[in-house]
Homo-oligomer: A and B are copies of this chain.
């Protein structure tokens, strides 16, 4: 019997989850709840690609290293960094018991890591120079019953859609928490000018937020968020300075969403949140112990959520926010212009 978590594809060591496994099976036999994907592009995780470049130097050797990893492990799971990436492809076949709602011909992006996705490469990566994280690739990948994949929209450039999908858990969970928080709760987004931050602002507004505050680190970013119209108040402070955050925000808010990807933002979030309020930590730089001990040290009766990247319907929800909120798209396109290729 197949497992929705892919246990049936684990070759070694036996009995662990696919992400922990050293090697996955890429055998052609497919199970009734699996989806088979014709791979088009692998997007290597930035940390993984950097490590491979540092270790192997020449692009041709980097190409060979990726091939070797996938051949040996049955997945693109960098053994040094522990990270993977995601892929783009087209659905070849969807098993009769797959709950993912995909059909042959759908162009999709996987939203679960390559570190748990069975992958076989069929073209020796002949079209990849080894000089970019974007790896053109002919190959076969498998999605499990509990995998997550999003159908790529026709009306948006791939790059823009992928950058929304990358952070789509944040607006979906913000939506849920703001709706649960009562009538017109006040909401603060730390890092409101970023990708997850701007989507979270738009989600909070749509979910019925009252006063909506964006905290940003620079005047330029403050100007951009003000121009976007996504927040009622835009305040300037270093999110790592709890006293500065608290003074900038003023009256503590009902819901705080942390989207600043630097360590040390836990205490500011606690101070800025009213008793009985909720903090959602989306930043992967969050320290569990700093949050737990910080709230205790401040005797703050706040509910603190670990931002789960998965909420049902999150991809559709985030893409729809981008389409219907001009300010969000403006901020995304501003960032793209600023990021070197």
Could you list which residues of chain A lie within 8 angstroms of chain B, going by C-beta atoms? 5, 7, 15-17, 19-20, 111-113, 115-116, 146-148, 169, 241-244, 267, 271, 281, 284, 286-289, 291-293, 295-312
Contacts and interface: CB of A to CB of B under 8 A. Distances in A.
16 contacts: A5-B271, A15-B241, A16-B243, A17-B267, A20-B267, A111-B296, A112-B297, A113-B297, A115-B297, A116-B297, A286-B288, A292-B306, A292-B309, A295-B310, A296-B310, A301-B311
The secondary structure that dominates the A interface is loop
Contacts of A298: 5, 17, 146
Contacts of A301: 308, 310-312
B297 A19 contact: yes
Contacts of A296: 111-112, 148, 169, 308-310
A144 B20 CA distance: 47
Contacts of A308: 292, 295-296, 300-304
A310 B299 contact: yes
Contacts of A304: 305-306, 308
A14 to B, nearest CB: 10
Scoring A295, A298, A301, A307 by chain B CB atoms within 10 A of each residue's CB, the highest score goes to A298
Task: List 5 A-B pairs, minimum CB-CB distance, nearest first.
Answer: A296-B309, A304-B306, A146-B299, A288-B288, A295-B308
Contacts of A7: 243
A17 B302 contact: no
A245 to B, nearest CB: 11
B293 A306 contact: no
Contacts of A15: 241, 243-244
Nearest to A289: B284
A116 B271 CA distance: 15
Given A291-B306, A295-B308, A304-B306, 11 more contacts: A15-B243, A15-B244, A16-B242, A17-B242, A17-B298, A19-B297, A111-B296, A147-B299, A284-B292, A292-B309, A306-B306
A83 to B, nearest CB: 10
Contacts of A116: 297
A20 B270 CA distance: 15
A169 B297 CA distance: 12
